[in-house]
Structure 1
Amino acid sequence: MGSRSSWIRAWSAWRAEAVFSGRERTHGVSGTSGADFRRGVWAGRPSRRERRRRHAMRDPERGAISVRAAIPPADCALLHAHVEASFRMDAVRTLAPSFAESAGDVVSAVLEEASRFASAVLEPLNRAMDARGVSLAEGRVVTAPGHRDAWRSFVENGWPAIDHKSEHGGQQMPLALCMAVQELFDRNCPAFGMLPVPQRSAARLIDAFGDAETKQRWLPGLASGAAGATICISEVGAGSDVLQMRTRATQAEDGSWRIWGEKCWISFGDHDLTDTLVHCVLARTDAPGAKGPEISLFLVEGGGAQHGAVSVLRIEEKLGLHGSPTCTLGFDNAVGHMLGAPGRGLAQMFVMITQMRLAVGAMGLGMASAASDIAHGYAQERRQGGAPGNPVPIAAHRDVQRQLLELRARAELLRGLTLNTANIAEIATRSDDGAERAVVGALLQWLLPIVKTFGAEAAFDNASGAIQVLGGAGYTADWPVEQILRDARVLAVFEGTSGIQALDLVHRRVLRDRSGLDAFLAVARRDGEGTALMPALELLDDAAQRIAQADLNDANGSATPFLALAILTAAGWVAARFLALDPDLPAHAAMRAAAGYWLDRLGPRATLAHAEVLAGAAPLVHFS
């Protein structure tokens, strides 16, 4: 299925053949009773699980081939142009020798190889993972058929190592390039990417707080992909409110610690992909009767190494991401080793916040860009309307053009914002100038909840919008967009819900310290001079001042529309930067088109969001 037209023709031909051969049942088919039809079942119809299995492109156990349309390959030249256009990329390349080497042909080669791996290995796996899911056998998680082979190939090709430090066996590429690679992988199989992200997060924690022995024990394996990792924070009744946790740790005579409790929503809490598995576990270490909880961070080896002491209690049945096992883990006198200082566990977790929130943005970007490209390809080939006997592609219709521009603008501007923020993170961490680190660090903290939430919204909205463009076809499993919609829904929930991100932005970045907002306004006003971004920035500044003067009830009530306004202006900043790109370079065309559309719509949208901020909690008087 190499071209848009070929995969659409293949799908159309199969649909026609399926109907005429009787494989597809429709309302009115002879032999179907009205009662059966009203119940949504008819004689001989396979179960939902069986239908999902049949739609796997290749079931490694059965060799079944599906006709589901493929996700078109990504435009690597466009991605490369994004990397080069990202915020201060030239300055980032001066921050480390390996960064300087990640330029020109190296960037092209990395992106093209990642795209090939995603299309050839991850997309077939994505279909099998969605259809087959995971299972629990004798207390251990069994991943979908083909997952182990794909992981082995992923490791052999060095992909886990791209952003790990060179002294641990990593390649230490710039974070922006790593985010571009993640987009390519998550575009074709987001469930697969749910394992590398906690690996990288655990590596950051261990590198920051581990002693030499701990680093040597875990970091090379995490970099190579031989070791897996999880982040164990949430418990029943203690999700966003971490201080309610009940998991406890007590110190043994030999200096080690023993962990008791349960943790839930743990991605890849157990699996059969790596040789070893380490859990980063938050647990209480306060003495009974203490005034408040003392929360510390521990490393606990799992993956069968502590059979009975670390166990999988259940695997969640989920709407999407079926190939990623979401586990509830039990710790029963499990041996743990404290990482960092007692009582500092929660604060230490912030070392990985940058990477985790950027990773959610990149995952959303992968899904959003895939949905957009599928919709654009379909709209160029699907013919409807026009002169009798000579229908035109639906892309010729104005309303469809509006829908496609909306999808493309979200994807392109989210990509620009994700890469900009990745560069800002590198400068905030590595710059030799302390004053610069402070200003850029504040800017980073302002942007992180925006990137995370924009990524979540763009993924779901683009999947829904692509279904709308495809019509009834998009609602079926013959096209990938229905799976993208299911997979994307969780992005607005995990790693802090969108509501939590909004409250974080208001309380930490407006009420407590607005230095990050001021840094953003300064950069955006410089880049957006003479564009439609400028009035929107004034609305953002005014909204922040109003919130600062409001009572706490109104501030909380205005948090979500304020985050919406912040997203609009952050994307507008990216759009203003895109308009300054060389119009003669072909790769810039899509970026500039997305920018022009977004800025043309920015004024009315920002005005509405600003008005909702000013309303504060007043509309909530109707809640009972």
Structure 2
Amino acid sequence: MSFSDQADRTLALLAVTPGWQRLRSLRQDCDDETVAAIVGEAASFAERVLAPLDAVGDRIGCRIENGRVVTPPGFAAGYRQFAAAGWIGIDVGECHGGSGLPLAVQAACAPLFERGCMSLMMAAGSARAACHLLAAVADAETADRWIPKLLAGDWAATICISEPDAGSDVGRIRTAAAWHDGIWRVTGQKVWISFGDHDLCGRIGHCLLARTGEEAGTRGLSLFLVPDRHADGRPNGVTPERIEEKMGLHGSPTCALRFEAAEAILLGEAGRGLPQLFAMIEQMRLQTGGQGLGLASACCDIAEAYARERRQGGAPDAPAVPIAAHPDVRRQLRSMRHRTEILRAAHLEIACAMDLARIAQDPPDRAAARDFAGTLLPLIKTFGAEAGFDIASAGIQVLGGAGYTKDWPLERHLRDARVMSIYEGTTGMQAIDLLARRLWRDGGMGLEICLERAAADIALGGGALARSGMEAVEEFRALLAHMQALKATPEAGLERADSFLRAFWCLVSIWMLRRLGSVGLGEDELRQSVDRLRAELALFGRLCR
């Protein structure tokens, strides 16, 4: 496995990402040498510090001892090193103690960390997302107190939404917050909380939705920060009731938590909890795409290295040949690699757009970047998650029986990846978001921007491949009009939402292949991949009819 090769692939694709070129013109700290040094150090840290923890966490897992969760050996030390190196705050504002670098730089580094030890990064990802949430909606005193502690690794955070009877249907949340004697107090139960309790640090802040009014549904929900302990170390009415026994991510304790009149800090405006929480959720959906990319990158490298070294077949009167010489194995490896690098290009594209949505100089440019990024978020979350699992499975196939054993990390990566298409909004929810929110409610503004940018980039290549790509753009444009018309019969539209999502990803993949050609993918391979994706686009288009 080569972390440095992954870093090099990332830097090569970043260099041909148009949004990155615009970012560089707006930022003085994004020169090639600085960014290459940061990504290179991320690769080194992930390989030296994080990767050795992954198998340990999977094998030993977590346990509750004396009412607290104990994480696997080395996890607490690894987390402290990660925080001390400044990785949690790489894109957090300097006013709160972060490095203040673009999200695109963080997105270039994150898949390396996820590859190293995804289970430990579940804690780091929540802490980083909480920093962005607090910076956006908390009062100055709370933000100034909590964000530096989160960045230093002294304190941690969770996103605390799900309940026994309210998973994705957050409008059914029952946990309640009551104002009494000048203090908000939260009572209720939360489940499926990643790192809901642990021994990585001394205090955990739960970013929690609770009901503050009589109004039903999401309008009665407010957002709170609920520390598990008071500042002096006394318990604050938060109890871990159990750890879930999971298929994978054994080093990440998924907890059921009980809140009993726990003191809480209201974040932002009462009754606006869910919209405010999206500052954190959007970060974590992009993180999911990076998780899938990190695991897919590892699985590609493992399968390619194994195929070069494993000898099998060939002429019976000659030495066996590497299995990479067999056409079907080459086909499998090529498919794995193309899918991974398309995802890498798209992951960087959306991170740059999210940066430009904040710092572009002209308001129309910021609005366009915001619509563009919001439209791509359901895709990067969905297909990052699916790539992590599918490419691990494909890697196991290349290794054959060896891949099915614990001698190789592929089976661990497959188990760890399976949950990614479930949390932070299931695949079905992402499809509904794209159709009902981005197309029907918002009029498809972000989709139109995507089509315009895809067409402009594809046309630059010229030749038969450009013509084929432009035809794909027009095919999807026709599908877009059909799906818009289904707004009049929403049930019929929602039944087709998944196929619509997948058709859009086929088009985005064709668009990103243009960049792979810029970093060395041959024309024959490009043509084959474009032909395959156009066939898939046509198939999903028919399923939408």
Q: Which residue of 1 aligns with 2:428?
A: 499
Distance verdict in 2 for CA 1:140–1:591, change over 3 Å: farther
Counterpart selection for 1:80 from 11, 18, 22: 11
Deviations, residues 401-433 of structure 1 (Å, cap 9, x unaligned)? 111111001111100000010000011111121
Aligned pairs for 1:27-38 (under 5 A) are none
Select between 373-382 and 150-159 the one with higher mean Cα deviation.
150-159
The code of the aligned residue for 1:477 comes to: K
Matched, 1:124 2:62: no
Larger Rg: 1
**C-alpha separation between the residues in 2 aligned to 1:319 and 1:147?**
20
Distance verdict in 2 for CA 1:128–1:73, change over 3 Å: farther
SS in 2 for 1:391: coil
Counterpart selection for 1:323 from 233, 243, 251: 251
Calculate the TM-score normalised by the size of structure 2.
Answer: 0.94
Q: Which residue of 2 aligns with 1:54?
A: none
The code of the aligned residue for 1:498 comes to: T
Matched, 1:521 2:451: yes
Task: Give the C-alpha shift of residue 94 in structure 1.
Answer: 3.7
4+ runs of 1 displaced by more than 3 Å? 70-75, 289-293, 303-306, 590-597
Select between 148-157 and 428-437 the one with higher mean Cα deviation.
148-157
Task: Give the C-alpha shift of residue 72 in structure 1.
Answer: 6.3
Distance verdict in 2 for CA 1:546–1:225, change over 3 Å: same
Matched, 1:265 2:265: no
Aligned pairs for 1:138-149 (under 5 A) are 138-149=66-77
Q: Which residue of 1 aligns with 2:222?
A: 296
Q: Which residue of 2 aligns with 1:347?
A: 275
Counterpart selection for 1:417 from 312, 329, 346: 346
Task: Give the C-alpha shift of residue 573 in structure 1.
Answer: 1.2
**C-alpha separation between the residues in 2 aligned to 1:515 and 1:302?**
42
Gaps of 5+ in 1: 1-69, 582-587, 615-624
Deviations, residues 249-283 of structure 1 (Å, cap 9, x unaligned)? 000112x2010001111111111112321111100
Q: Which residue of 2 aligns with 1:332?
A: 260
The code of the aligned residue for 1:528 comes to: I
Counterpart selection for 1:548 from 480, 484, 497: 484
**C-alpha separation between the residues in 1 aligned to 2:492 and 2:97?**
51
Distance verdict in 2 for CA 1:292–1:493, change over 3 Å: closer
Distance verdict in 2 for CA 1:367–1:590, change over 3 Å: farther
The code of the aligned residue for 1:574 comes to: M
Aligned residues: 533
Task: Give the C-alpha shift of residue 577 in structure 1.
Answer: 3.2
Alpha carbons 1:575, 1:592 under 8 Å: kept: no
The code of the aligned residue for 2:537 comes to: A
Q: Which residue of 2 aligns with 1:235?
A: 163
Deviations, residues 490-543 of structure 1 (Å, cap 9, x unaligned)? 010000000110111110112222101111111111111242322222222222
Alpha carbons 2:3, 2:112 under 8 Å: kept: no
SS in 1 for 2:286: helix
Q: Which residue of 2 aligns with 1:584?
A: none
Task: Give the C-alpha shift of residue 71 in structure 1.
Answer: 6.7
**C-alpha separation between the residues in 2 aligned to 1:72 and 1:297?**
39
SS in 2 for 1:144: coil
Alpha carbons 1:151, 1:273 under 8 Å: kept: yes
Distance verdict in 2 for CA 1:409–1:573, change over 3 Å: same
Distance verdict in 2 for CA 1:360–1:75, change over 3 Å: closer
The code of the aligned residue for 1:521 comes to: L
Alpha carbons 1:412, 1:594 under 8 Å: kept: no
Q: CA RMSD in A?
A: 1.8
Q: Which residue of 2 aligns with 1:476?
A: 405
Q: Which residue of 1 aligns with 2:471?
A: 535
Aligned pairs for 1:549-564 (under 5 A) are 549-550=485-486, 551-564=489-502
Identical-pair percentage: 43
SS in 1 for 2:126: helix
Select between 175-184 and 413-422 the one with higher mean Cα deviation.
175-184
Gaps of 5+ in 2: none
Select between 130-139 and 568-577 the one with higher mean Cα deviation.
568-577
Alpha carbons 1:412, 1:591 under 8 Å: kept: no
Select between 370-379 and 157-166 the one with higher mean Cα deviation.
157-166
Q: Which residue of 1 aligns with 2:438?
A: 509
Alpha carbons 1:533, 1:602 under 8 Å: kept: no
Task: Give the C-alpha shift of residue 215 in structure 1.
Answer: 1.3
Aligned pairs for 1:596-611 (under 5 A) are 596-611=527-542
Alpha carbons 2:196, 2:240 under 8 Å: kept: yes
**C-alpha separation between the residues in 1 aligned to 2:395 and 2:228?**
41
Deviations, residues 556-588 of structure 1 (Å, cap 9, x unaligned)? 111111111111111211112333x2xxxxxx2
Q: Which residue of 2 aligns with 1:32?
A: none
Alpha carbons 1:467, 1:474 under 8 Å: kept: yes
SS in 1 for 2:268: coil
Distance verdict in 2 for CA 1:290–1:482, change over 3 Å: closer
Task: Give the C-alpha shift of residue 196 in structure 1.
Answer: 1.4
Counterpart selection for 2:313 from 369, 382, 385: 385
Distance verdict in 2 for CA 1:593–1:217, change over 3 Å: farther
Alpha carbons 2:345, 2:515 under 8 Å: kept: no
Task: Give the C-alpha shift of residue 149 in structure 1.
Answer: 1.6
Matched, 1:210 2:144: no
Matched, 1:450 2:379: yes
Counterpart selection for 1:430 from 338, 346, 359: 359
**C-alpha separation between the residues in 2 aligned to 1:432 and 1:78?**
30
The code of the aligned residue for 1:378 comes to: Y
**C-alpha separation between the residues in 1 aligned to 2:432 and 2:388?**
22
Alpha carbons 1:572, 1:595 under 8 Å: kept: no
Q: Which residue of 2 aligns with 1:162?
A: 90
Q: Which residue of 2 aligns with 1:565?
A: 503
Task: Give the C-alpha shift of residue 74 in structure 1.
Answer: 3.6
Which structure shows the bigger proportion of residues in helix conformation? 2
The code of the aligned residue for 1:599 comes to: V
Counterpart selection for 1:181 from 109, 114, 131: 109
The code of the aligned residue for 1:562 comes to: F
SS in 1 for 2:131: helix
Q: Which residue of 2 aligns with 1:226?
A: 154
The code of the aligned residue for 1:298 comes to: F
Select between 308-317 and 593-602 the one with higher mean Cα deviation.
593-602
**C-alpha separation between the residues in 1 aligned to 2:241 and 2:522?**
47
Deviations, residues 304-340 of structure 1 (Å, cap 9, x unaligned)? 8452611101111111111011111110000001110
SS in 2 for 1:239: coil
Alpha carbons 2:171, 2:217 under 8 Å: kept: no
Counterpart selection for 1:107 from 13, 16, 35: 35
SS in 1 for 2:292: helix
Select between 339-348 and 271-280 the one with higher mean Cα deviation.
271-280
Calculate the TM-score normalised by the size of structure 1.
Answer: 0.83
The code of the aligned residue for 2:15 comes to: E
Task: Give the C-alpha shift of residue 226 in structure 1.
Answer: 2.0
**C-alpha separation between the residues in 2 aligned to 1:94 and 1:200?**
26
Distance verdict in 2 for CA 1:565–1:373, change over 3 Å: same
Matched, 1:371 2:299: yes
Task: Give the C-alpha shift of residue 597 in structure 1.
Answer: 4.5
Matched, 1:281 2:208: yes
Alpha carbons 1:183, 1:366 under 8 Å: kept: yes
The code of the aligned residue for 2:166 comes to: A
**C-alpha separation between the residues in 1 aligned to 2:200 and 2:130?**
17
SS in 2 for 1:160: coil
The code of the aligned residue for 2:453 comes to: V
Alpha carbons 2:172, 2:217 under 8 Å: kept: no
The code of the aligned residue for 1:277 comes to: I
**C-alpha separation between the residues in 1 aligned to 2:150 and 2:527?**
43
The code of the aligned residue for 1:259 comes to: V
